[in-house]
Structure 1
Amino acid sequence: MTELSIDTERMAGAARGLNGVAAQLRFIVAALDTGIDGQHRPWGQDKIGREFAGEWVPPKNDLLTAGNDLARVLESAAEGMETMARGFAGTEDANVDSLRGATGADAGPAARGGLRTT
């Protein structure tokens, strides 16, 4: 028989880690954006400055957008991992309670009205 084992506490911990990386990335993107904006367009408004800005500003905006998009992806992945961890823990609790009910043993957390959330 094949055994499936999922450490829901470690999975939830990994989700928290992903959220931390997302927060760091958002901080970096915000600092980069603030630092760039703080320079007040040092390339100037003459023809050469406008040409430079035309080549530099779109990739800069793409970089900032990509950084924020990646942070959103990491947050979404973390949320999915947290949901899976809760679901796996709840399924395990329900299975244990079902087996206890079949054997006459004391009921576990699901039977008492709550599922484990770690």
Structure 2
Amino acid sequence: MKIILKECGDAMLDKVPDILAILYRHMPTIQEGSLRQFLVEAVSILAHHHQEAVISSLLSKRLPMDSDTAEQWRSLGGDPLLATQVLRALIEKIKTPTRTEGSIASETEMDRHLAAAEPLLVS
């Protein structure tokens, strides 16, 4: 599977959410170390091809994060090729106001939104 992901990963953008859903669904049931490592590596391989899709998927997980999601984040941060790119993408997501129900109505609300993100940017 890792070879397929490495060789064909570029063509799998529309399949990334499905692939990640399958990997996440199986992670809690797999306790054997080498199999867990395989799943973690598969997510990293996908991130090399489709970083935005993988980051969005990880960010969509419930808070507080479960240990499996935290393990995935650690694997992306531990990959020298991905770590800086992932941090930059996260900073951009923090700096970009999200549109939840409705839009931010005033400059005061925008200031509060940016002030809330500021400590995260410093980290």
Q: Same fold (TM over 0.5)?
A: no
TM-score (norm 2): 0.29
- The higher radius of gyration belongs to 1
More relative contact order, 1 or 2 (CA 8 Å, 6+ apart): 1
